Amino acid sequence: FRDPAQVRALLARIGRLVDRIGGTRDRPVTIMEICGGHTHAIFRFGLHRLTPEGLEFVHGPGCPVCVLPMARVDDCVELAQRPGVLLTTFGDAVRVPGTRGSLLQAKADGADVRIVYSPLDALELARRTPGREVVFFALGFETTMPATAAAVLQAEREGIANFTLFCNHITVPPPLRALLQDPDMRLDGFVGPGHVSMVIGTEPYRFIAEEFHRPVVVSGFEPADLLQSVAMVLEQIAQGRAAVENQYARVVRPEGNPRALALMDRVFEPRDRFEWRGLGEIDSSGMRMRERYAAFDAERKFGVGYGAGRARPAPESDGCRCGDVVKGAMKPPACPLFGTACTPQSPVGALMVSSEGSCAAYHQYAGLR
């Protein structure tokens, strides 16, 4: 998947296809890579510099840390500061800034915030500290949802009463619909996520081809994977077709992973609405815990977030252009804070926090076009 001869052949094929479609520097063919892992791989391997100028990568909303709205971070900080609460989450999440700082700052101020590698680690902390309320700040797309669901079911089996989730799980298809319905968006096709599709399969993207007539190719993460996927998208455009195709067939099955899907469905259900940083509220895009698991739901137990009947869109920091970058309306270096006030060491916006965030990827791998 990194063979130079194969990569050169794919680049030549992409060049021919872009010429055939008529992509130019001023009017490029635009392909959105949905997944933050793909954004990172494109910059890591310099694919954005190897592909022709008539092709533009637009970086999509597929980094869960990056699209987490300020209000949810604020709710989480508030939870962490409650007496008796031990708040657990993944490493990236502690650095996401809210309006009242990040979880890392809350920890510095005395809150008990701990980094875990999986929700089962959080459950283990709940077992070992029965006198504390252990809250797991759960976030991520369909990729991480099955593991969170498994932890809740395990807690139920063992009757662990001091374990709850602050659930921020989100799903990929609804924001894609929102982007396609935005009259300002100009997207010619999509490179579909690999890990999410391993769970949900390829069927949920069908509306993109059938209703919006845009090609989607689910892709792997190696350079040849991505270039082959781009070539497959371009081929569809050149032929006037729009279909869902699977380049990552060695991992992704059309039906996804039925066991993982069943786990998710048992514990979670879609919320009516959920706010995304930069995209606003999107119907049925966030997940919450089913009534049966209300005892494990931190929002209900502690009366925070939607559990408190609040939907508080919080303003972004002054000068921050995360919203425009998430929508693909501008590139990170055009943000006035990029590389000055906002750096990976001191992020102002969420896109600079995770290595999958497009601002962090631009910052880490220089040589921008």
How many residues at the interface with ligand SF4, by CB under 6 A? 14
Rounded to the nearest whole angstrom, what is the least distance from the CB of residue 362 to ligand SF4 in the complex? 8
Q: Is 348 in the site for ligand SF4 (CB under 6 A)?
A: yes
Residue 65 or 116: which CB sits closer to ligand SF4? 65
Residue 155 or 348: which CB sits closer to ligand SF4? 348
Sole binder of ligand SF4 in the list 349, 354, 356, 361 (CB under 6 A): 349
> How far is 352 from 213, CA to CA, in rounded Å?
33
What angle (nearest 5°) sits at the alpha carbon of residue 209, between those of residues 203 and 210? 90
DSSP 267-295: HEEE-SEEEETTTEEEET-BEEE-GGGGG
Residue 295 or 341: which CB sits closer to ligand SF4? 341
The residue range among 106-114, 174-182, 223-231, 346-354 that interacts with ligand SF4, by the rule CB under 6 A, is 346-354
Residue 142 or 316: which CB sits closer to ligand SF4? 316
Stretch 207-266 residues interacting with ligand SF4 (CB under 6 A): none
Residue 135 or 350: which CB sits closer to ligand SF4? 350
Q: Is 351 in the site for ligand SF4 (CB under 6 A)?
A: yes
What backbone phi and psi angles, to 5 degrees, belong to 245?
Answer: -125, 160
> How far is 220 from 329, CA to CA, in rounded Å?
25
Rounded to the nearest whole angstrom, what is the least distance from the CB of residue 138 to ligand SF4 in the complex? 23
**Three-state secondary structure readout of 151-210:** HHHHHHHHCCCCEEEEEEEECCHHHHHHHHHCCCCCCCEEEECHHHHHHHCCHHHHHHHH
**E strand map for the chain:** 29-35, 55-62, 85-89, 112-115, 133-140, 163-169, 189-192, 216-218, 244-246, 268-270, 273-276, 280-283, 287-289
Rounded to the nearest whole angstrom, what is the least distance from the CB of residue 27 to ligand SF4 in the complex? 25
First to last CA, the chain: 24
Residue 306 or 338: which CB sits closer to ligand SF4? 338
Q: Is 149 in the site for ligand SF4 (CB under 6 A)?
A: no
Rounded to the nearest whole angstrom, what is the least distance from the CB of residue 188 to ligand SF4 in the complex? 24
Beta-bridged to residue 35, according to DSSP, are 62
Q: Is 194 in the site for ligand SF4 (CB under 6 A)?
A: no
Residue 122 or 325: which CB sits closer to ligand SF4? 325
The residue range among 126-134, 162-170, 300-308, 345-353 that interacts with ligand SF4, by the rule CB under 6 A, is 345-353
Do 68 and 277 touch, CB atoms closer than 8 A? yes
Q: Please, which residues have CB within 8 angstroms of residue 27's CB and are 6 or more apart in sequence?
A: none
Tally the C-alpha atoms within 13 A of residue 89's C-alpha that lie toward its C-beta.
Answer: 29
Rounded to the nearest whole angstrom, what is the least distance from the CB of residue 168 to ligand SF4 in the complex? 19
Stretch 304-323 residues interacting with ligand SF4 (CB under 6 A): 320-322
Residue 201 or 323: which CB sits closer to ligand SF4? 323
Do 28 and 54 touch, CB atoms closer than 8 A? yes
Rounded to the nearest whole angstrom, what is the least distance from the CB of residue 358 to ligand SF4 in the complex? 8
194 vs 85, 172, 254, 348, CA distance in Å? 36, 12, 12, 29
Stretch 321-340 residues interacting with ligand SF4 (CB under 6 A): 321-322, 325, 332, 335, 337-338
Helix axes 223-239, 4-21, angle to 10 degrees: 20
Residue 220 or 332: which CB sits closer to ligand SF4? 332
Do 136 and 151 touch, CB atoms closer than 8 A? yes
Residue 300 or 321: which CB sits closer to ligand SF4? 321
Coil vs helix vs strand at 115? strand
The residue range among 123-131, 158-166, 232-240, 351-359 that interacts with ligand SF4, by the rule CB under 6 A, is 351-359
Q: Is 342 in the site for ligand SF4 (CB under 6 A)?
A: yes
Rounded to the nearest whole angstrom, what is the least distance from the CB of residue 71 to ligand SF4 in the complex? 17
- The residue ranges that bind ligand SF4 (CB under 6 A) are 320-322, 325, 332, 335, 337-338, 342, 348-349, 351-352, 359
